Amino acid sequence: MLIAQISDPHVRPEGVLYKGVAPSNRMLEAAIARLHGLDPRPDLVLLTGDLTEEGLPAEYAAAAAILARLEIPLLLQPGNHDEREAFRATFAAAHPYLPPAGPLHYAIGDRGPVRVVALDVTLPGLHHGDVDDAAADWLADTLAADPGRPTIVMMHQPPVEVGVPYLDLYRCHGADRMAAVVARHPNVERVVCGHVHRVFQLRWAGTLLVTAPSTVTQIALALRPDAEPASYLDPPAFLLHHWRPEAGLITHYCPIDAAPGPFPFA
């Protein structure tokens, strides 16, 4: 099973650049074209939050029009830049797995051998996330319902510090609470996140936690405690999670933009 993960497209109203520098809508379209060009195509696409920049109606209209062109089944969740109720209203009809009220938690087990559990850790009006008692209980019950199935847990803000000061301010709180749940379930193959506009991986709670790059700008790897926020127009990319029974889940980094090649050597 092939599962692509795209993240943080930050769609703007048509004709508006992201932060005044990046054509985020066109860049999301380019990501979709790249997914369509993969051979074999992914069986499923995960979008791990920040679909829009400001949660505006015009942004959701633009995002819905772009995502309607995706020919691969899609699971999506909000990020801290999204507005939960506008997100729900925009996508409820096309994505009936989204719950009609409350946090947008859900579990999908009918798209292939890997089960996907989406945990909505966003807090309306705030940029950090939180796994509170209710979210931890929901996750525990959901994982316990299918304990032998290989599972991906998807969320927006990672529940760990990454060492970049201006990112760590907006991490997901409640990490110990969530880790205690995940550690009881060795069938959790990955915890996949967005939010940080970078790729990193970490052994966490008995599994592997990975973050996806953005389809727009990438946030600077600035490790000094006094570092100022910065981003770059680095090549956008996505992750491709490949499940094979004999190997488990392997995660690949896939640039979106075309590069020279192929050349007849390996």
The tens place of each residue's pLDDT in the chain, 266 residues long, gives: 999 999 999 999 999 999 999 999 999 999 999 999 999 999 999 999 999 999 999 999 999 999 999 999 999 999 999 999 999 999 999 999 999 999 999 999 999 999 999 999 999 999 999 999 999 999 999 999 999 999 999 999 999 999 999 999 999 999 999 999 999 999 999 999 999 999 999 999 999 999 999 999 999 999 999 999 999 999 999 999 999 999 999 999 999 998 899 999 99
Q: What whole-number distance in Å separates Cα of residue 116 and Cα of residue 62? A: 26
What CA–CA distances, in Å, run from 70 to 19, 29, 33, 37, 75?
25, 9, 8, 12, 12
Paired sense of beta strands 115-118 and 201-204, if any = unpaired
Buried b (16+ CB within 10 A) or exposed e, 160-177: bebebbebeeebbbbbeb
Residue whose pair of structure tokens reads 């819905």 in the numeric block: 64
Residues 6+ apart with CB under 8 A from 210: 190, 191, 192, 193, 199, 200, 201, 202, 239, 251
Q: Selecting from 3.60.21.10, 3.30.420.40, 3.50.50.100, 3.20.20.140, what CATH number does the domain 2-255 have?
A: 3.60.21.10
Paired sense of beta strands 207-211 and 188-193, if any = parallel
